[in-house]
């Protein structure tokens, strides 16, 4: 059985703008395996966000094949894509997007309950994840009472709430100071290894990118691989 958590083959994405066709992705290929951190780099406007949206099943490619945890979702209907996204994909963004009126624990419980998990089981899972990210003593705190690094740790725990196969992260440390960013990245890396999640991480921080397993650079609508140094 393949350990590929994400496979994208020949991904093309075109947009129409004022009668003209803009081709953002021109046949991009990538694979992310279990327990692997893959950095996605490139200048703003190169197509990184579009690729992440397609990888996370939030957008459809114009052409190409997308497989998540071995399942071909290229032609799946919206209901199937939503179900796979909810079950198999976790998202982390530059800003934590935690619900301010809920505690850290409740923010992790909610996506589980949406997925049909019993509240008691969801709470136990949330407590386990808070312990994993070093915040077991902060579960009853609302986001406003947490530091920026703590908020992002909760966001990572929330992304892992439904035990996804794939983690899609867009600048997960971009809103943090260098010291906090280092701590959050170290924690994220450890969790990816431990949980055997495949992680695709877009970043402008080349120091962090070089510490991942592989670096993919978005260049002219294609992906070029660089060996970390």
| Number of domains, the chain | 1
Paired with 8 in beta bridges are 30, 66
Domain hosting residue 185, numbered range: 4-226
DSSP 95: S
Give pLDDT, residue 208. 87
pLDDT in tens, the chain (229 residues): 468 999 999 999 988 877 888 888 999 999 999 999 999 998 888 888 899 999 999 999 999 999 998 889 988 889 999 988 888 999 988 777 899 999 999 999 999 998 889 999 999 999 999 988 888 898 999 999 999 889 988 998 999 998 899 999 988 887 788 888 888 888 889 888 988 999 999 998 888 899 899 999 998 889 998 865 5
Q: Are 214 and 36 in contact (CB under 8 A)?
A: yes
Please report, for the domain that includes residue 169, its CATH number: 3.40.50.300
Give pLDDT, residue 70. 87
Of 165, 164, 209, 161, whose CA–CA distance to 189 is shortest? 209
Give pLDDT, residue 144. 93
CB count, 10 Å around CB of 134? 13
């Amino acid at each position: 059985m393949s350990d590929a958590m994400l496979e994208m083959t020949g991904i093309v994405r075109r947009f129409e703008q004022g009668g003209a066709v803009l081709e953002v992705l021109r046949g991009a290929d990538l694979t992310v395996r279990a327990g692997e951190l893959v950095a996605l780099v490139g200048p703003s406007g190169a197509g990184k966000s579009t690729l992440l949206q397609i990888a996370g099943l939030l957008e459809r490619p114009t052409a190409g094949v997308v497989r998540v945890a071995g399942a071909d979702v290229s032609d799946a209907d919206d209901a199937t894509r939503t179900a796979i996204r909810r079950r198999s994909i976790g998202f982390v963004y530059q800003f934590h997007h935690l619900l301010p009126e809920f505690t850290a624990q409740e923010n992790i419980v909610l996506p589980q309950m949406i997925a049909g998990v019993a509240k008691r089981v969801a709470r136990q899972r949330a407590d386990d994840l808070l312990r994993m990210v070093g915040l077991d003593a902060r579960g009853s705190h609302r986001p406003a009472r947490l530091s920026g690094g703590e908020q992002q740790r909760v966001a990572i725990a929330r992304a892992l709430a439904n035990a996804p196969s794939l983690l899609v992260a867009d600048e997960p440390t971009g809103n943090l100071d260098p010291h906090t960013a280092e701590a959050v990245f170290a924690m994220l890396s450890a969790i990816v290894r431990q949980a055997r999640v495949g992680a695709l991480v877009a970043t402008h921080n080349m120091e962090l990118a070089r510490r991942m397993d592989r670096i993919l650079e978005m260049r002219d609508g294609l992906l070029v691989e660089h060996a970390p140094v």
